[in-house]
Amino acid sequence: MTEPEQKTDPIPESLAAGRRWHDMGGDISGDGGGPIPREGHDYALWEKRIDALMVLCGEKGLMTVDGLRRVLEDMGPESFETMGYYERWIASVNQNLLEGGVYTTEELGTRMEAVARRGASYGEAAGG
C-alpha cells in the first residue's frame, strides 16, 4: 500500500492529544519545531492604542484579562496565522465590550462605516 507523501503533519501533536490550540508548550510538530523567527518590528500607533485601550478597559472594570484571553483562546489556530497579534486583541476587546453592553453591534457597525469613509489610510481615518 502506498501512502501519499506528506509534507508536514497537518494536525499538531498537542491538538491531537486534546490540548487547546494556544497551549503550545513542547509541541515541536509542524511550524512549532522550526527556527525561531528573529525579525522584529516597532509597534505602530494603532497597536499601541489597542494595548492602551485594553489596559484602561481593565482598570475601569469594563473587561478583564481573563475575558481577553477567553476570546483569544476561542479564536482557534487559524487566527494565529491569519491575524496579527494586536488584531486578535482588538477583536477580543470588541467581543468583551459587546458582551458587557458597553456599546451595541449597531453602534459599532455604524461607526466603523463612518470611520472607513474618512480616507484610505490610518492617519486619515483616525484624524476625523
Subset of residues 4 to 63 that bind another protein, contact rule: CB under 8 A? 6-10, 22-28, 30-46, 48-53, 55-57, 60, 62
Q: Is 72 in the site for another protein (CB under 8 A)?
A: yes
In the chain, the amino acid numbered 93 is V
Which of 59-96 are b and which e, b meaning 16 or more Cβ less than 10 Å from the residue's Cβ? eeebbeeebbeebbeebeeebeeeeeebebbbbbbebb
Closest Cα to residue 68, out of 90, 101, 46, 98? Answer: 90
Cell of 125: 481615518
Q: Identify the residue among 2, 3, 4, 81 touching another protein (CB under 8 A).
A: 81
Residues 93-122 that bind another protein (CB under 8 A): 93-94, 97, 102-103, 107-108, 111-112, 114-116, 119-122
Q: Which is nearer to another protein, 2 or 59 (CB)?
A: 59
Shortest distance in whole angstroms from residue 70 CB to another protein: 11
